[in-house]
Structure 1
Amino acid sequence: MPSRLIALAILVSVAVLGSASHSYPQAAQPSSPGAANTLLPGTLIDSSNDPRYTQFLPAAVQAAIRYGMKIRLVPTQRLDWSAGFTKATEKYSSQVGLDQEDDITNYVAGAPFPTVDVSDPKAAVKIAYNWHMGPFMPDDFSLAPWGSFAYSSAEPNNIQPEEDYNYVCDRLTFLRFAHRTEVDPLPTFGANSQGFEWKARCNEWTANPAGDLGEGSGVWLRYLDPHRGDEFYGFNPETRRVRRTASASIAVSEACRSCHQPYWAYALPKTETYRYRLLGTTPLLACMTASEEPAGLKQQTTSLTLPEEPFELRNAYILEMTPKAAGFGNLRGLVFVDTEAYVWLAAEFFDASERTAVAVPLWRSHPSPAGGNLFDLAGEFYIPSRQPPTSGRAEHSAIQTRNGITSPNYPRWFFRTLRPAREDFDQKINSGDVGEEIFNPQTLAR
């Protein structure tokens, strides 16, 4: 099976990681006494003053500011859950529990644990389930193209594509079979006798300079059974065969870790494959209301730049995630989860004691037709510590010659984003138009 398609299979299936107890959404409050006076709406944070705000800035945002990103502080907003999600929470949450292995029981839809006491010994795993089943999870989703797009920069406000390192599929389609709250049928899609949580499909790869044109298509299956791993069916156009493999989300190589860990768009990691610790709560600046989509990159005449984005003060749980599987305990992650909306606000990844990557999402909330808010992942930055070789293209060579990629002021900066820096993409969320038939692995060969 083509290596890049396997990498994307892992990428999709792994997609990584609030102060008082709360019942239903409440406006986030800063837990630092001076935070409210320091972070005034209207303040512009850029490379000239960002050290003043380091305690509130995710590591990935600090890196982006160094290369030209600016953030404008806006008032903290109350982000109510959608009416469908709230209704499901009220109807089903009282019956939800944890078994002796901390696996969720009797969960149907909505927030499984709407009230979390941080002193509860099970608070960490309850927060993890709230994140996994959070209000940003769509019932169906389609985006073309979709993938991990690579970029680099040798100086601020001069960002170039690194297309050799792109992982892109022509169209990604996602359908939730259980826990549905927005689109009929609710809360389950059909009889679901095989116990699927969701299915996802990636169509043909788009062309890139590495020569991976039409490298294959794939279907991913996530099961409700906490002890059953994900499955992946990949189609090889050369052999015309569909091959089934187990896609263990945590059994990944060093090479794959650089591409799969940040992409928690809608196919989050399987909660039961990790151990969790709640390390506390913290005030954190986060983008919840991106003004454009895609967010995070802006096309100029000859290059891309990092635009100004709106950020607000949120309150976040700090979750430590450690894989349960033997041999992978070194792949630790820290995830910052919003205490109100249960979306992730930032993440840091470690291999033993070495921090290997940081990530930050740019969310765009919008009104749900029935009331409350829905969330789109409008953009994202994933910044690995280990930089890949530069491509041999002339424009990159010129930048390196002029500025020197080993400059102590501005070394070469490589990062990934979930969104392409262009407007010609097609996205549909909760349309009700995604059918089950396209997820039959045998349709890959047609």
Structure 2
Amino acid sequence: MKVKLEVAVLVALAVLSITESPRAAVSPGDTITKDQADRVAELVSPGNLILVKQGMSMKIVPTERLEWPPPYKSATEKYSAQVSLAPNGTLKNYLAGLPFPLVDANDPQAALKVMWNFSYRPLYTDDAISKNVEIASFRPGSTPADPVEHFTIGNVGFYNNTGRTEVNPIPTDPEATRAGIRYRFGAYPFLEPSEMRGFGFIRYRSLDPKIEDNSWMMNPRTRHTIRASASELSDVLGIYQPGAGAGAGAATYASNLDPDSFFGFAAKIEDFNYRFLGEKPMLAVVHAENSPAKACPTDGGRTICPENWEMRQLYVIEADAKQASAISSGVSIPKRIFCIDSEGWFITASDQYDREGKLWKTIATFNAYRDRPIPDARVAIWPFKRMFQTALVDEDVGTGFSTVVRSPGVETDEHESWYINMGIATENVFNPTTMSNAAH
């Protein structure tokens, strides 16, 4: 009861700070266009501000609460009191739910606790499959109907071995202790463009901080599954030359997106150092109106707009790749600054910096909170509202080249797309052999 009361007080203070903030230069009912971008200069990340200035319009709506799924909330109340940080920054005694319900901004370990909360966020705890995910790339001057490149991925999803709250085994799959695998992730098969048909990759995240991810890629040209290094997952997706090793050759298809940026950030938590930059009210999309997300007509399709943006209490965290990391020399994005929602614990924005410390790319995520992905869903219906991502924008702010991920996509008949904690995604789905078979 004490934890519940303290959380309620913190939420009330957060809402009060949002509504009374002198930075709140916008009000529900406003529509922000590129000509009014200065009004939100302090309310979005520097990178996201560039998106607004190039034409991403924003519809300002009232702030609404996000409730955690009841099983996740119960797990937090049951297990969080026993969780702590080990001297090496890893979690001790974690089973399920949010590791650290109360984060003190004055705590020297606040940034790391926020990141572990993000890592075990309430969005997708057990398993998830998103079908027919569409990825389109645009350059300045493109139109929504004429992307530079268009990809469709049959399945994107994962299976968690730890932190499980809704589908047995709960809270831990025996594979976590038997094989030390925290989760399995997969994106395959690519259905288009035709030259990439059959491409895909699978990634296993280890519980051991000293063990980097095990990854496999399916090369559609050679029809062979090859091992991929962890550093390759920090670079953009692409096809390797026939007969070459996994690290030979750069991506040959136009895309900004790298696997480490899925959902805003998907690299291993232990491979970065974190700095707490503050907690402040900012704008974010957490109650998206449109699913499928609509391509922005005022910037050539390079983002999603107009969409509902609301004032949120966000944590701002800087992440820097550890110099001692085995993959630090190959990381293409050594520094990132995240904006993380303090209720949903997902990344709403991420600014990415190159090796010279210059702002290189920016990510904006578009999230919804519903009991189904689309109004006429027949299968993907949950007994309570839950959070899920409808779109992600990853733009090179120097060139204006942008990659937009939409789930569900707009060209497919499968618009339910998200199947979360329904037992559809199993361990076998994320097996290199299964991926290879799907490619054939």
Q: TM-score, normalised by structure 1?
A: 0.78
Partners of 1:147 and 1:323 in 2: CA distance: 30
Partners of 1:183 and 1:329 in 2: CA distance: 36
Which of the pair has the greater relative contact order for Cα pairs under 8 Å at 6+ separation?
Answer: 1
What is the correspondence of 1:48-59 to structure 2 with a 5 Å cutoff? 48-59=35-46
Q: Deviations over 1:62-87 (max 9, x none)?
A: 33334443222211112121111111
1:429 to 420, 426, 438: 420
Q: Does 1:308 align with 2:306?
A: yes
Q: Does 1:176 align with 2:188?
A: no
Partner of 1:200: 185
Q: Does 1:87 align with 2:91?
A: no
After TM superposition, the structure 1 stretch with the greater mean CA deviation from structure 2, 69-78 or 182-191, is 182-191
Answer yes or no: is the 8 Å Cα contact 1:230–1:248 preserved in 2.
no
Helix, strand or coil for the counterpart of 1:154?
coil
Partners of 1:180 and 1:366 in 2: CA distance: 21
Q: Aligned-pair distance for 1:342?
A: 1.0
Partners of 1:167 and 1:35 in 2: CA distance: 43
Partner of 2:119: 132
Q: Does 1:282 align with 2:280?
A: yes
Partners of 1:75 and 1:262 in 2: CA distance: 32
2:390 to 371, 375, 378: 378
User: CA, structure 1 residues 108+68, in 2 after alignment: closer, same or farther (shift >3 Å)?
Assistant: same
Partner of 2:203: 220
Q: Deviations over 1:252-307 (max 9, x none)?
A: 5896794216733297321111100001122111111111112241689x989953
What is the aligned length?
394
What is the correspondence of 1:228-377 to structure 2 with a 5 Å cutoff? 228-248=211-231, 252=235, 258-260=256-258, 263-265=261-263, 268-297=266-295, 307-324=305-322, 325=325, 326-327=328-329, 331-351=334-354, 352-367=356-371, 369=382, 371=384, 373-377=385-389
What is the correspondence of 1:162-173 to structure 2 with a 5 Å cutoff? 162-164=147-149, 166=150, 168-173=152-157
RMSD: 3.3
User: What letter is aligned with 2:180?
Assistant: G
Q: Aligned-pair distance for 1:385?
A: 2.8
What percent of counterpart residues are identical? 24
Q: Aligned-pair distance for 1:160?
A: 4.7
Partners of 1:38 and 1:344 in 2: CA distance: 23
Structure 2 unmatched ranges of 5 or more: 238-249, 373-381
User: CA, structure 1 residues 136+236, in 2 after alignment: closer, same or farther (shift >3 Å)?
Assistant: same
Helix, strand or coil for the counterpart of 1:337?
strand
Partners of 1:247 and 1:226 in 2: CA distance: 13
What is the correspondence of 1:114-153 to structure 2 with a 5 Å cutoff? 114-146=101-133, 148-153=135-140
Answer yes or no: is the 8 Å Cα contact 1:89–1:111 preserved in 2.
yes
User: What letter is aligned with 1:214?
Assistant: R
User: CA, structure 1 residues 22+270, in 2 after alignment: closer, same or farther (shift >3 Å)?
Assistant: farther
Partners of 1:338 and 1:370 in 2: CA distance: 23
Structure 1 unmatched ranges of 5 or more: 1-20, 388-412
Q: TM-score, normalised by structure 2?
A: 0.79
Partners of 2:86 and 2:398 in 1: CA distance: 40
Q: Aligned-pair distance for 1:33?
A: 5.1
What is the correspondence of 1:3-18 to structure 2 with a 5 Å cutoff? none
User: What letter is aligned with 1:226?
Assistant: P
After TM superposition, the structure 1 stretch with the greater mean CA deviation from structure 2, 352-361 or 137-146, is 137-146
User: What letter is aligned with 2:427?
Assistant: E
User: CA, structure 1 residues 141+163, in 2 after alignment: closer, same or farther (shift >3 Å)?
Assistant: farther
Answer yes or no: is the 8 Å Cα contact 1:23–1:114 preserved in 2.
yes
Helix, strand or coil for the counterpart of 1:265?
helix
Q: Deviations over 1:75-112 (max 9, x none)?
A: 11121211111111111111111111111111111100
After TM superposition, the structure 1 stretch with the greater mean CA deviation from structure 2, 111-120 or 256-265, is 256-265
Partners of 1:374 and 1:253 in 2: CA distance: 30
Answer yes or no: is the 8 Å Cα contact 1:153–1:160 preserved in 2.
no
User: CA, structure 1 residues 359+296, in 2 after alignment: closer, same or farther (shift >3 Å)?
Assistant: farther
Answer yes or no: is the 8 Å Cα contact 1:41–1:73 preserved in 2.
yes
User: CA, structure 1 residues 109+347, in 2 after alignment: closer, same or farther (shift >3 Å)?
Assistant: same
User: CA, structure 1 residues 180+274, in 2 after alignment: closer, same or farther (shift >3 Å)?
Assistant: same
Partners of 1:170 and 1:251 in 2: CA distance: 22
